[in-house]
Structure 1
Amino acid sequence: MLKKRIFGLISLFMCLLVALAGWTLWQTKAYVASPLNLESPQLVTIAKGAHYHKVINQFEDKGWLTATVWAKVAPRVYPELTRIQAGTFQIQPGQSLGEVFATLREGQQYQDAITFIEGSTFAQWRLQMASAPHLEQTLTALDEADIAKRLGAEYTKLEGLLLPETYAYDVGDTDLSLLRRAYQAMQASLDKAWQNRADDLPIDSPYELLILASIIEKETAIDAERTKVASVFVNRLRRGMRLQTDPTVIYGMGDNYDGNIRKRDLRTPTPYNTYVIKGLPPTPIAMPGVASLMAAAQPATTQYYYFVATGKGGHQFSTTLAEHNRAVRDYLKVLKSQ
């Protein structure tokens, strides 16, 4: 009889243990599956060497969860919760604790992005970077020549030397690291264009190709026109004609440009005024994209020496000055009718 009672008590105790274990497992599972208290996406930075309990305390301090006893039990039931990586992560409303720790475990760091458009200038790049969120500013006190030196560029001006595109970056990345990527990307793109250039180009170096590409970039944003625009400038260079392109005049005017080019501006000498100087200006006038680089390297074969806007989108290309003058008159008529 005593043995039966002892056996019964042991059985009862085991049942209680099983029930307790089941209840604990259920409560822990519910805790890990419960969403954090977030009303909007939030960024969280996990320090190097941080462990599970430190992260839980961090979340509790932010009011995102309540660290109950189940928070202490959770890593015993789910050991994968202890495997986390350092970095900055974005947490979304509705995500459970388990989903958040999966993000930390997989190292899916939050990234911002910045887009530099084709035809923009280095001055515009600096303004964009200065207002970019989560980008560490290290170049504010440096001038363009100092920044170029840090990038390893052989020129003191960075105009044209950075490839315009969208760059993703981690929180805490520096402006210098971003520019270094853009510089290396342009070097690679320029090298490819130079290696694939037409045999008879009146261009003596990759840098001159970059200068020509920057002018093409400022003259047209229409892909189908780029090689035609390139052919006009290449034809003019071959014949020793001045390029006579307004974007170079505007660049040379700097802060004096108010949105209008006057006759006196076309006659005012600057190193960039291609109505006055022969050949290419001394540096690029903007950041060209890959399409303009390739157009400069492989211009269309044409007899065009002139082009003017149509007023309806695009340009009218001409072989002779007489044809060009008629195209200019047609353009002025369109402007008057608008």
Structure 2
Amino acid sequence: MKKFLFILLFFVLILAGTGLVGYAYYNSVGEKPLNTNEEIIEVNVEPNDNFSRVLTRLDNEGLLRNLLLTRVYFRFNPIETALKPGTFKINAQGSLHEIIQELNEGEDIYEVTVAIPEGFTIERMGEAFEEKGLFSKEAFIQAVKNYIVPSWLENTDERHYVLEGYLAPATYKFRKGQTPSFVVDTMYKAFVNRMYAVLKETGEDLPTSEWNELITIASMIEREAASVEEMPRVASVIYNRLSKGDKLQLDATVVYALGLNAKDKVTLEDLKVESPYNTYYVRALPIGPIASPGAAAIKAAINPEITEYLYYVLDPSIRQHFFTSDYNEFLQKKREFQGN
């Protein structure tokens, strides 16, 4: 009997020891699930991936110590996953929870953030994408030229770019290797969505056949106004001058006609450029937008301030425009502000 009890105790101890070893191994998998000596590795998350698929992919690449135990550990030690597509760098010596947290909060190493401010032209957008290393300015401009424009947008050879004004300014996230045509399409669709959102907000029902005139006016407001607060007032000057049949005579249109991004001072010689964009030359709106307006400028074009103002001149001391309906007062303020 004593011999039997000894043998039984022996097997119990063996089973207990095996259990303890197994439990220790189970915990070690949770504390260090990856099978690599590397400190940092890249983990790719595909669109619509869940964490189980990511684990399977790591196991297929020989990077997991034990797929089954990793899944069991995750099942009994849950942590919220908020995976997003991309390629992420993670600590290969970290715990399962640390790896999940890095995937949840990490930045895609191939993702590039590009800020396109309101008032940018297509030329300047191309420069921004080139500066970020996505593709060259020339490739972007070629994609703009090749884009199949909607039927409501009048395609005329006199325009610098038919899509000028119709690529939404915003902060975009694109992946390295993304094609310029995809970027142009994304930006155009963002413009359309923003346009419908603005129309809904303002209660306007504006057909697409009238979008070109509105965006042309909004683009001038964007480039001329010193602040968002000024935009409805600048809009009133534009509409007042148009209703009187006067030339708009806006320097921003001259700058665009000359193919410049910016210019501190427009010369008298510049004003003579014979361009359908130059509002010192044409007695009408420019042939098309001169930049990409933001939502505030579009709203100002829809709802201008009601004034009798016909002129404005920048007061550089406060970076605001002085508005007037009197031409002599305009000239007086112009001399005052410009030190003449």
Same structural fold, with TM-score higher than 0.5 when normalized by the shorter chain = yes
The equivalent of 2:158 in structure 1 is none
Taking a change above 3 Å as real, the CA distance of residues 93 and 107 of structure 1, as seen in their structure-2 partners, is: closer
The equivalent of 1:12 in structure 2 is 13
The equivalent of 2:313 in structure 1 is 308
The equivalent of 1:318 in structure 2 is 324
Letter in 2 for 1:12: L
Q: Distance in 1 between matches of 2:84 and 2:225?
A: 46
For residues 239-250 of structure 1, the aligned pairs below 5 Å read 239-250=244-255
Q: Is the 8 A contact 2:119 2:223 kept in 1?
A: yes
Q: Is the 8 A contact 2:90 2:102 kept in 1?
A: no
Q: Number of matched residues?
A: 319
Worse overlay, 225-234 or 91-100: 91-100
Q: Distance in 2 between matches of 1:137 and 1:55?
A: 38
Q: Distance in 2 between matches of 1:44 and 1:152?
A: 44
For residues 90-129 of structure 1, the aligned pairs below 5 Å read 90-91=88-89, 96-99=94-97, 101-102=99-100, 110=108, 111-129=111-129
For residues 1-338 of structure 1, the aligned pairs below 5 Å read 1=1, 2-32=3-33, 38=39, 44-46=43-45, 52=55, 55=58, 70-71=65-66, 74-75=69-70, 77-78=72-73, 87-91=85-89, 96-99=94-97, 101-102=99-100, 110=108, 111-132=111-132, 139=139, 142=142, 144-147=144-147, 149=148, 154-156=153-155, 157-170=162-175, 173-191=178-196, 193=198, 196=202, 205-254=210-259, 260-312=265-317, 313-333=319-339
Q: Is the 8 A contact 1:91 1:100 kept in 2?
A: no
User: Residue 125 of structure 1: CA displacement?
Assistant: 1.4
Q: Distance in 2 between matches of 1:256 and 1:27?
A: 60
Unaligned 5+ residue runs, structure 1? 61-66
Give the match's secondary structure for 1:302. Answer: coil
Letter in 2 for 1:96: G
Taking a change above 3 Å as real, the CA distance of residues 114 and 155 of structure 1, as seen in their structure-2 partners, is: farther
Give the match's secondary structure for 2:88. Answer: strand
The equivalent of 1:64 in structure 2 is none
Q: Distance in 2 between matches of 1:122 and 1:115?
A: 13
Q: Is the 8 A contact 2:144 2:184 kept in 1?
A: no
Worse overlay, 178-187 or 232-241: 178-187
User: Residue 11 of structure 1: CA displacement?
Assistant: 1.9
**Deviation by residue 1:299-327 (Cα, 9 ceiling, x = unmatched):** 00001000001111111101110110111
Taking a change above 3 Å as real, the CA distance of residues 118 and 95 of structure 1, as seen in their structure-2 partners, is: farther
**Deviation by residue 1:96-124 (Cα, 9 ceiling, x = unmatched):** 24136536987987354221001101112
Letter in 2 for 1:78: Y
Q: Is the 8 A contact 2:140 2:181 kept in 1?
A: no
Give the match's secondary structure for 1:263. Answer: coil
Q: Distance in 1 between matches of 2:273 and 2:67?
A: 76
User: Residue 146 of structure 1: CA displacement?
Assistant: 0.8
Q: Is the 8 A contact 1:115 1:166 kept in 2?
A: yes
Q: Is the 8 A contact 1:197 1:297 kept in 2?
A: no
Q: Is the 8 A contact 1:89 1:104 kept in 2?
A: no
Q: Distance in 1 between matches of 2:212 and 2:269?
A: 30
- Cα RMSD, aligned residues only: 4.1
**Deviation by residue 1:53-76 (Cα, 9 ceiling, x = unmatched):** 65268696xxxxxx7xx5567436
User: Residue 258 of structure 1: CA displacement?
Assistant: 6.7
Worse overlay, 7-16 or 104-113: 104-113
Q: Is the 8 A contact 2:248 2:284 kept in 1?
A: yes
| Identity %, equivalent residues | 24
Taking a change above 3 Å as real, the CA distance of residues 101 and 58 of structure 1, as seen in their structure-2 partners, is: farther
Taking a change above 3 Å as real, the CA distance of residues 276 and 114 of structure 1, as seen in their structure-2 partners, is: same
Taking a change above 3 Å as real, the CA distance of residues 213 and 184 of structure 1, as seen in their structure-2 partners, is: same
Give the match's secondary structure for 2:216. Answer: helix
Q: Distance in 2 between matches of 1:268 and 1:84?
A: 56
Letter in 2 for 1:245: L
User: Residue 90 of structure 1: CA displacement?
Assistant: 2.5
Unaligned 5+ residue runs, structure 2? 156-161
Q: Distance in 2 between matches of 1:19 and 1:245?
A: 82
Q: Distance in 1 between matches of 2:215 and 2:204?
A: 15
Q: Is the 8 A contact 2:127 2:137 kept in 1?
A: no
Letter in 2 for 1:45: N
Letter in 2 for 1:328: K
Q: Distance in 2 between matches of 1:266 and 1:237?
A: 19
TM-score if structure 2 supplies the norm length? 0.77
Letter in 1 for 2:245: G
